[in-house]
Amino acid sequence: MANKVVFIGAEKTGKTAIARWLAGHDNYLAEYRPTIGNTFEQVSVGSKEMRLWDVSGSDRYNGLIPIYAKNSAVVCLVIDKSNPQSISDLWSLLRKSRSSMGDSKFLIVVNQTTDENLVSEESLLSVLAANNIPEDSPRIEVNPGKNTGKNELMGALEQFCITNKNADKPEFIFAEKPTPQENSSPFTLNINMTVLNGFIAAMGVVAVALAFAALKAAALGTVLMAGAGVATILVGVGLFAKRASAGTTGADDNQQPDFYPSWDK
């Protein structure tokens, strides 16, 4: 099973470029295109297989991070050395997803997009401390444009994969769709249709008996009232049975996928 490595960071910090650079692609420095959801690359280093997951830093995809970070061998926290905003955005991402990372190891990947260093040591340490991430987590500076830091980063990833505590755990966890009986509904009843049909037949017999009694009394108004009353009862029983039956069969099941991701297990 490939070791799962997840790259997390703000938008435009170079996560995709770094992942493609590690995978040996030639066009990793192509024109910037925001990642939609996620992408992954398969990489071998030494005796270890790694699957590099690049998760979008866009706010609309923040909900994906806990899914991909679950059971990962390594979480690479990517920051842009020239962009202080990348630190505050990283804090926001971790606040929403840190609990899903469990025993994962952490690497701080500092992308040197320029020679400027606008990220203070204090701000980085405060983010790590606030999210219970060891301050001594390895810090690797890389520059895909100058092809520097690649060996150091690959070496650190290999060492973490060797001691991966999540190696035997599934890469992703999926929970089966709840069965119809688990759907909550005020009309969820177990109705025996044979009994229901018998009840409706009995009501019909009662209706006939009332009609004969009314005819015997020669009261036309009574006949009409009795017929209307019985009809109302039968309609009410039929509507109730239909609604209750819909509750037991899960009428909205077709709107739910067969499987949906869960990170609570």
The full set of domains in the chain, from first to last, is 3-172 (3.40.50.300), 179-257 (no CATH)
User: What does each of the 265 residues of the chain score in pLDDT, given as a tens digit?
Assistant: 789 999 999 998 999 889 999 998 876 665 666 676 567 788 888 888 999 998 888 888 888 889 888 999 999 999 999 999 999 999 999 998 999 998 899 999 999 878 888 899 999 999 999 999 999 999 999 999 889 999 999 999 999 998 888 877 776 654 444 444 444 444 444 555 666 666 776 777 777 677 666 666 655 566 566 666 666 666 666 666 555 555 544 444 444 333 334 433 3
Query: Residue 174, SS3?
Result: strand
State the chain's mean pLDDT as an integer. 76
Q: What is the pLDDT of residue 258?
A: 39
Which amino acid, one-letter code, is at 107? L
* Bridge partner residues of 74 (DSSP): 5, 105
Tokens of 118: 């606008």
Residue range 166-209, pLDDT digits in tens: 877 776 654 444 444 444 444 444 555 666 666 776 777 777 67
Write the CA distances from 40 to 36, 71, 221, integer angstroms. 12, 16, 79
Tokens of 61: 């995809």
Q: List the end-to-end C-alpha distance of the chain, in Å, as a whole number.
A: 20
| Strand-pair category, 3-9 with 259-261 | unpaired
Which of helix, strand or coil describes residue 84?
A: coil
Distance CA 263, CA 2 (A): 19
CA pair distance 233, 205, nearest whole angstrom = 13
Look up residue 195 and give its DSSP letter. H
Q: How far apart are CA 4 and CA 52, in angstroms?
A: 6
Residue with tokens 């009428």: 251
Only one residue has tokens 């819909």, namely: 246
Distance CA 188, CA 243 (A): 9
Instruction: Determine the angle formed by the axes of helices 121-130 and 85-97, rounding to 10 degrees.
Output: 10
SS3 for 133? coil
In which element (H, E) is residue 151 found?
Answer: helix 150-162
- The answer to whether the predicted template modeling score (pTM) of the entire model surpasses 0.85 is no
- Cβ neighbour number for residue 44 with a 10 Å cutoff: 11
